[in-house]
Amino acid sequence: MFLPVQEQVQEQQFLGGLAATWLYLQRGMFSQSVPALPRALWQRIFLAIWYLYCLVVSAAYTCNLIAIFTSPAYPQRITTLQQLADSEYRLAMEDVGGALMELLNDADDEVHLRLLEKLDLFPHMSDAVDTLKAGTHGFVWDVTTGINILGDHYKVFNWYNVRTPLLPSYASWFFPKHTPWKNKFDQGILRLVQCGVIQHLLEEGTNELLGWHWKLRLQERQEPVMGITLEHLKGVFFILFLAWTTSVAVFLLELLRHRYFHR
């Protein structure tokens, strides 16, 4: 109402009516360009403030819309022990004792203590694997033996490893007490680790246990990847439909304006 009232006191009107003024102001809200700018200084100041407001509203709406439709369709994979402790998954393991229980019981950090509370021990390996299949637990075992147990014995392939190990593993050499030249052995072993010989020996041991092509066989046995369906593209089509609807509405408003206000 402010612009039409002020235009009535001017000798030459800029827009010419309430409807034309409303359509002119809505251009900024829909990120549309304007054909011309007013000549009066007060109108330019008003439009500058109005377009700044439209910019903020349009940016906020667009960002919220993008945040809604770009949310991941699949749950994010767990890569750290902190994420595992914060997740809804519990831990399943066969009750065989070992160093893991000792490590968790002696832990003084919050993450390992929370994992200890989530650890469920089962008398049989099959019971622990069943919880993995049900999607309620994470299966706790070392990587090499776990691949053999899940893949070859129980035929379970829809799983992945958490990158951060729960229990550190080491390649150790044992010497009798008072072994001479122990410092020399330490230097030689350190050089073997640095040049990758130890890692190569571990890979050879894994290949001998699981077979030389165990990685290829594991990939071949993986469950087929589900293709993209219409359900996954629902948000994209909604945005496209919204853009088309807005374009048609703006076109009709422009058509009505030129037909009834520019005769």
Residue 107 CA to its chain's centroid (Å): 30
Residue that is written with structure tokens 């509405």 in the block:
249
pLDDT in tens, 229-253: 667 667 777 777 888 888 888 888 8
Please choose, from the candidates 119, 90, 94, 92, the residue with its C-alpha nearest in 3D space to the C-alpha of residue 104: 119
Lowest mean per-residue pLDDT among 19-28, 38-47, 161-170:
161-170
pLDDT at 3 over 70: no
Hey, what domains does the chain have and what are their CATH numbers?
2-71+235-260 (no CATH), 76-169 (3.40.190.10), 176-226 (no CATH)
Region 117-139 average pLDDT: 88
Number of neighbours of residue 196 by Cβ within 10 angstroms: 10
Q: Could you tell me the pLDDT band of residue 34, with boundaries at 50, 70 and 90?
A: confident
Q: Which residues contact 159 (CB under 8 A, 6 or more apart)?
A: 132, 139, 150
Region 82-95 average pLDDT: 87
Q: Please report, as a single letter, which amino acid is at residue 40.
A: A
pLDDT at 143 over 60: yes
Q: Could you tell me the pLDDT band of residue 1, with boundaries at 50, 70 and 90?
A: very low
Please choose, from the candidates 134, 135, 106, 137, the residue with its C-alpha nearest in 3D space to the C-alpha of residue 121: 137
The pLDDT assigned to 216 comes to: 63
pLDDT in tens, 175-206: 788 888 778 888 888 888 888 887 787 777 76
Please choose, from the candidates 153, 162, 156, 188, the residue with its C-alpha nearest in 3D space to the C-alpha of residue 173: 188
pLDDT at 13 over 60: no
CA dihedral for 90, 96, 99, 105, sign (positive or negative)? positive
List beta partners, residue 92.
120, 139
pLDDT at 2 over 80: no
Number of neighbours of residue 104 by Cβ within 10 angstroms: 18
pLDDT at 58 over 80: yes
CB 207 within 8 A of CB 148: no
Q: Could you tell me the pLDDT band of residue 17, with boundaries at 50, 70 and 90?
A: low
The span from the CA of 47 to the CA of 18, in Å, is: 16
pLDDT in tens, 108-118: 788 888 888 88
Please choose, from the candidates 195, 197, 203, the residue with its C-alpha nearest in 3D space to the C-alpha of residue 144: 203
Q: What is the mean pLDDT of the chain?
A: 75
List beta partners, residue 94.
122
